[in-house]
Amino acid sequence: MAVIEHDIVAQVYAAKAASEAADALIRQYMGFIRSEAMKTTKKSYGENEDEISIAMFAFYEAVMNYEKGRGAFLPYAARAIRSRLIDYYRKEKRHEHVGSLHAPADEEEKTELLDMLPDQKNEVEAYEMREASRKEIQEFEKQLAVLGITFSDVADNCPKQERTLAACRGVLDYARKNPELLDRFVKTGRLPVNELSQGSGTDKKTMERHRKYLAAILLAFTNGYEIIRGHLCQIGPGKGGSGR
Protein backbone atom coordinates (compact mmCIF):
# COMPACT_ATOMS: atom_id res chain seq x y z
CA MET A 1 0.00 0.00 0.00
CA ALA A 2 2.85 2.37 0.86
CA VAL A 3 4.43 1.68 -2.53
CA ILE A 4 1.14 2.47 -4.30
CA GLU A 5 0.73 5.72 -2.37
CA HIS A 6 4.34 6.64 -3.17
CA ASP A 7 3.60 6.12 -6.88
CA ILE A 8 0.49 8.30 -6.68
CA VAL A 9 2.35 11.09 -4.91
CA ALA A 10 5.08 10.95 -7.55
CA GLN A 11 2.43 11.27 -10.26
CA VAL A 12 0.80 14.18 -8.43
CA TYR A 13 4.06 16.08 -8.18
CA ALA A 14 4.73 15.44 -11.86
CA ALA A 15 1.24 16.76 -12.62
CA LYS A 16 1.91 19.91 -10.61
CA ALA A 17 4.85 20.60 -12.90
CA ALA A 18 3.37 19.76 -16.31
CA SER A 19 -0.15 20.18 -17.69
CA GLU A 20 0.24 17.06 -19.86
CA ALA A 21 0.93 14.98 -16.76
CA ALA A 22 -2.06 16.58 -15.02
CA ASP A 23 -4.36 15.68 -17.91
CA ALA A 24 -3.03 12.12 -17.91
CA LEU A 25 -3.57 11.80 -14.15
CA ILE A 26 -7.16 13.00 -14.46
CA ARG A 27 -7.82 10.47 -17.23
CA GLN A 28 -6.24 7.72 -15.14
CA TYR A 29 -8.43 8.51 -12.13
CA MET A 30 -11.71 9.26 -13.91
CA GLY A 31 -13.20 6.15 -12.32
CA PHE A 32 -12.29 7.46 -8.88
CA ILE A 33 -13.61 10.95 -9.72
CA ARG A 34 -16.93 9.56 -10.97
CA SER A 35 -17.25 7.29 -7.96
CA GLU A 36 -16.71 10.13 -5.48
CA ALA A 37 -19.17 12.34 -7.35
CA MET A 38 -21.79 9.59 -7.33
CA LYS A 39 -21.29 8.95 -3.60
CA THR A 40 -21.80 12.62 -2.83
CA THR A 41 -24.69 13.33 -5.21
CA LYS A 42 -26.45 9.97 -4.77
CA LYS A 43 -27.00 10.00 -8.53
CA SER A 44 -26.36 7.09 -10.86
CA TYR A 45 -23.93 7.10 -13.76
CA GLY A 46 -25.12 9.34 -16.60
CA GLU A 47 -27.33 11.54 -14.42
CA ASN A 48 -24.66 13.88 -13.11
CA GLU A 49 -22.66 15.29 -16.02
CA ASP A 50 -22.45 18.76 -14.45
CA GLU A 51 -21.33 17.29 -11.15
CA ILE A 52 -18.67 15.18 -12.89
CA SER A 53 -17.23 18.34 -14.44
CA ILE A 54 -17.12 20.01 -11.03
CA ALA A 55 -15.55 16.88 -9.52
CA MET A 56 -12.85 16.87 -12.23
CA PHE A 57 -12.09 20.50 -11.50
CA ALA A 58 -11.92 19.74 -7.76
CA PHE A 59 -9.55 16.83 -8.41
CA TYR A 60 -7.34 19.15 -10.46
CA GLU A 61 -7.34 21.71 -7.64
CA ALA A 62 -6.45 18.94 -5.19
CA VAL A 63 -3.48 17.99 -7.36
CA MET A 64 -2.28 21.59 -7.52
CA ASN A 65 -2.69 22.21 -3.77
CA TYR A 66 -1.46 18.85 -2.45
CA GLU A 67 1.58 18.61 -0.20
CA LYS A 68 2.96 15.43 1.37
CA GLY A 69 2.20 16.69 4.87
CA ARG A 70 -1.52 16.56 4.11
CA GLY A 71 -1.68 12.77 4.27
CA ALA A 72 -2.58 10.25 1.59
CA PHE A 73 -3.57 11.89 -1.68
CA LEU A 74 -6.75 10.02 -2.62
CA PRO A 75 -8.60 10.71 0.67
CA TYR A 76 -7.45 14.33 0.34
CA ALA A 77 -8.83 14.48 -3.21
CA ALA A 78 -12.08 12.82 -2.12
CA ARG A 79 -12.61 15.51 0.53
CA ALA A 80 -11.88 18.21 -2.05
CA ILE A 81 -14.45 16.75 -4.46
CA ARG A 82 -17.09 16.43 -1.75
CA SER A 83 -16.46 19.97 -0.52
CA ARG A 84 -16.67 21.48 -4.00
CA LEU A 85 -19.91 19.63 -4.79
CA ILE A 86 -21.46 20.73 -1.51
CA ASP A 87 -20.56 24.33 -2.37
CA TYR A 88 -22.14 23.84 -5.79
CA TYR A 89 -25.40 22.56 -4.32
CA ARG A 90 -25.51 25.31 -1.74
CA LYS A 91 -25.26 27.85 -4.53
CA GLU A 92 -27.89 26.03 -6.57
CA LYS A 93 -30.24 26.01 -3.59
CA ARG A 94 -29.83 29.75 -3.19
CA HIS A 95 -30.75 30.25 -6.83
CA GLU A 96 -33.79 28.02 -6.43
CA HIS A 97 -34.87 29.77 -3.20
CA VAL A 98 -35.17 26.39 -1.49
CA GLY A 99 -34.67 26.14 2.27
CA SER A 100 -31.63 24.32 3.62
CA LEU A 101 -32.13 20.65 4.44
CA HIS A 102 -29.56 18.20 5.72
CA ALA A 103 -28.90 14.61 4.78
CA PRO A 104 -25.99 12.24 5.47
CA ALA A 105 -23.32 12.44 2.79
CA ASP A 106 -20.98 9.85 4.26
CA GLU A 107 -22.27 7.12 6.52
CA GLU A 108 -18.86 6.41 8.02
CA GLU A 109 -17.98 10.02 8.82
CA LYS A 110 -21.64 10.98 9.38
CA THR A 111 -21.02 14.11 7.34
CA GLU A 112 -24.09 16.23 6.65
CA LEU A 113 -24.76 18.25 3.53
CA LEU A 114 -27.68 20.13 2.04
CA ASP A 115 -30.41 18.04 0.55
CA MET A 116 -29.26 18.11 -3.04
CA LEU A 117 -32.42 17.21 -4.88
CA PRO A 118 -35.16 19.81 -5.34
CA ASP A 119 -38.63 19.32 -3.92
CA GLN A 120 -41.17 17.91 -6.36
CA LYS A 121 -42.80 21.30 -6.85
CA ASN A 122 -39.45 22.80 -7.80
CA GLU A 123 -38.39 20.22 -10.38
CA VAL A 124 -39.07 22.55 -13.30
CA GLU A 125 -37.12 25.38 -11.72
CA ALA A 126 -34.25 23.01 -10.91
CA TYR A 127 -34.14 21.73 -14.48
CA GLU A 128 -34.16 25.25 -15.87
CA MET A 129 -31.37 26.22 -13.50
CA ARG A 130 -29.22 23.28 -14.59
CA GLU A 131 -29.84 24.09 -18.24
CA ALA A 132 -28.96 27.74 -17.66
CA SER A 133 -25.77 26.68 -15.87
CA ARG A 134 -24.79 24.33 -18.68
CA LYS A 135 -25.39 26.92 -21.39
CA GLU A 136 -23.58 29.65 -19.47
CA ILE A 137 -20.56 27.43 -18.88
CA GLN A 138 -20.44 26.46 -22.56
CA GLU A 139 -20.70 30.09 -23.68
CA PHE A 140 -18.05 31.20 -21.20
CA GLU A 141 -15.76 28.39 -22.34
CA LYS A 142 -16.11 29.60 -25.94
CA GLN A 143 -15.28 33.17 -24.94
CA LEU A 144 -12.23 31.97 -23.01
CA ALA A 145 -11.10 29.95 -26.02
CA VAL A 146 -11.09 33.12 -28.11
CA LEU A 147 -8.55 34.47 -25.62
CA GLY A 148 -6.57 31.22 -25.77
CA ILE A 149 -7.55 30.25 -22.22
CA THR A 150 -9.05 27.05 -20.79
CA PHE A 151 -10.71 26.35 -17.44
CA SER A 152 -7.59 24.42 -16.43
CA ASP A 153 -5.50 27.50 -17.23
CA VAL A 154 -7.68 29.58 -14.92
CA ALA A 155 -7.33 27.14 -12.03
CA ASP A 156 -3.59 26.79 -12.61
CA ASN A 157 -3.10 30.57 -12.82
CA CYS A 158 -5.17 31.39 -9.73
CA PRO A 159 -3.21 33.20 -6.99
CA LYS A 160 -2.13 30.87 -4.21
CA GLN A 161 -1.55 33.53 -1.55
CA GLU A 162 -4.29 35.60 0.04
CA ARG A 163 -2.53 38.92 -0.50
CA THR A 164 -2.08 38.22 -4.21
CA LEU A 165 -5.70 37.17 -4.52
CA ALA A 166 -6.71 40.40 -2.78
CA ALA A 167 -4.59 42.37 -5.26
CA CYS A 168 -6.36 40.67 -8.17
CA ARG A 169 -9.71 41.48 -6.62
CA GLY A 170 -8.56 45.08 -6.40
CA VAL A 171 -7.96 45.02 -10.15
CA LEU A 172 -11.46 43.65 -10.67
CA ASP A 173 -13.00 46.30 -8.41
CA TYR A 174 -11.26 49.08 -10.32
CA ALA A 175 -12.31 47.63 -13.68
CA ARG A 176 -15.94 47.41 -12.57
CA LYS A 177 -15.87 51.07 -11.55
CA ASN A 178 -14.46 51.93 -14.96
CA PRO A 179 -16.58 49.94 -17.43
CA GLU A 180 -14.86 51.54 -20.42
CA LEU A 181 -11.83 49.40 -19.55
CA LEU A 182 -13.98 46.26 -19.60
CA ASP A 183 -15.45 47.32 -22.94
CA ARG A 184 -11.99 47.80 -24.40
CA PHE A 185 -10.90 44.42 -23.06
CA VAL A 186 -13.88 42.72 -24.72
CA LYS A 187 -13.27 44.47 -28.05
CA THR A 188 -9.52 43.92 -28.23
CA GLY A 189 -9.06 40.74 -26.19
CA ARG A 190 -6.15 42.42 -24.41
CA LEU A 191 -5.97 43.46 -20.78
CA PRO A 192 -5.39 47.21 -20.33
CA VAL A 193 -2.56 46.41 -17.92
CA ASN A 194 -1.18 49.93 -17.56
CA GLU A 195 -4.50 51.54 -16.65
CA LEU A 196 -5.53 48.68 -14.37
CA SER A 197 -2.18 48.70 -12.61
CA GLN A 198 -2.17 52.45 -12.06
CA GLY A 199 -5.81 52.62 -11.03
CA SER A 200 -5.81 49.65 -8.66
CA GLY A 201 -2.29 50.08 -7.31
CA THR A 202 -1.44 46.50 -8.27
CA ASP A 203 2.08 45.78 -9.45
CA LYS A 204 2.35 45.02 -13.17
CA LYS A 205 4.46 41.94 -12.51
CA THR A 206 1.71 40.51 -10.32
CA MET A 207 -0.82 41.14 -13.06
CA GLU A 208 1.40 39.53 -15.68
CA ARG A 209 1.90 36.42 -13.52
CA HIS A 210 -1.86 36.02 -13.17
CA ARG A 211 -2.93 37.36 -16.54
CA LYS A 212 -5.11 34.36 -17.45
CA TYR A 213 -6.93 34.38 -14.11
CA LEU A 214 -7.52 38.13 -14.39
CA ALA A 215 -8.72 37.81 -17.98
CA ALA A 216 -11.22 35.12 -16.97
CA ILE A 217 -12.61 36.95 -13.96
CA LEU A 218 -12.88 40.24 -15.86
CA LEU A 219 -14.63 38.44 -18.71
CA ALA A 220 -17.10 36.97 -16.22
CA PHE A 221 -18.16 40.49 -15.26
CA THR A 222 -18.79 41.71 -18.80
CA ASN A 223 -21.80 39.71 -19.99
CA GLY A 224 -23.82 38.73 -16.94
CA TYR A 225 -22.12 35.40 -16.23
CA GLU A 226 -23.62 35.21 -12.74
CA ILE A 227 -23.11 31.47 -12.24
CA ILE A 228 -19.54 31.60 -13.53
CA ARG A 229 -18.81 34.52 -11.21
CA GLY A 230 -19.81 32.40 -8.25
CA HIS A 231 -17.50 29.55 -9.27
CA LEU A 232 -14.56 31.87 -9.90
CA CYS A 233 -15.06 33.57 -6.56
CA GLN A 234 -14.85 30.15 -4.88
CA ILE A 235 -11.42 29.53 -6.38
CA GLY A 236 -9.16 30.71 -3.61
CA PRO A 237 -5.69 30.06 -2.29
CA GLY A 238 -5.15 26.59 -0.89
CA LYS A 239 -4.45 26.57 2.81
CA GLY A 240 -0.78 26.29 3.34
CA GLY A 241 -0.08 26.83 -0.36
CA SER A 242 3.29 28.15 -1.28
CA GLY A 243 2.54 29.57 -4.71
CA ARG A 244 2.61 33.23 -5.55
For 161-208, write each residue's pLDDT tens digit: 888 888 998 998 999 899 899 889 988 989 999 999 999 999 999 999
For residue 242, the SS3 value is coil
Instruction: Work out the pLDDT band at 98, boundaries 50, 70, 90.
Output: very low
How much is the pLDDT for 196? 95
User: 239 pLDDT exceeds 70?
Assistant: no
Backbone angles phi, psi at 112, to 5 degrees: -105, 145
Q: Quick: pLDDT tens for 207-237.
A: 999 999 899 888 888 766 766 666 655 544 4
* Prediction pTM value: 0.48
Instruction: Say what the pLDDT of residue 123 is.
Output: 52
Report pLDDT for 205: 93
SS3 label, residue 241: coil
pLDDT at residue 6 in the model: 64
103 pLDDT band, cuts 50/70/90, is very low
Mean pLDDT of 134-146: 80
- Provide mean pLDDT across the span 57-81: 88
Give pLDDT, residue 223: 63
Beta strands in the chain (DSSP E): 102-106, 111-114
The number of helices, as runs of H, and strands, as runs of E, in the chain is 13, 2
Residue 131's pLDDT is 66
Mean pLDDT on 26-32: 89
User: Residue 20: CB partners within 8 Å, gap ≥ 6?
Assistant: none
Nearest Cα residue to 228 out of 154, 124, 118: 154
Tell me the one-letter amino acid at 54: I
Q: Report which listed range, 20-24, 99-103, 159-163, 210-214, is most confident.
A: 210-214
Q: Which range (1-15, 82-96, 102-116, 137-151) has the least confidence?
A: 102-116
Reply yes or no on whether the pLDDT at 1 is more than 50.
Answer: no
Please state, in angstroms and rounded to a whole number, the distance separating the CA atoms of residues 88 and 83: 9
Amino acid at residue number 204: K
Q: Across residues 48-55, what is the average pLDDT?
A: 78
CA atoms within 13 A on the CB side of 88: 24
User: Percentage of residues in the chain with pLDDT exceeding 70?
Assistant: 68
pLDDT value, residue 116: 45
Answer whether residue 21 shows pLDDT above 70: yes
CB under 8 A, 24+ apart: contacts of 79-82 = 81/33, 81/36, 81/37, 81/40, 81/55, 82/36, 82/39, 82/40, 82/106, 82/111, 82/113
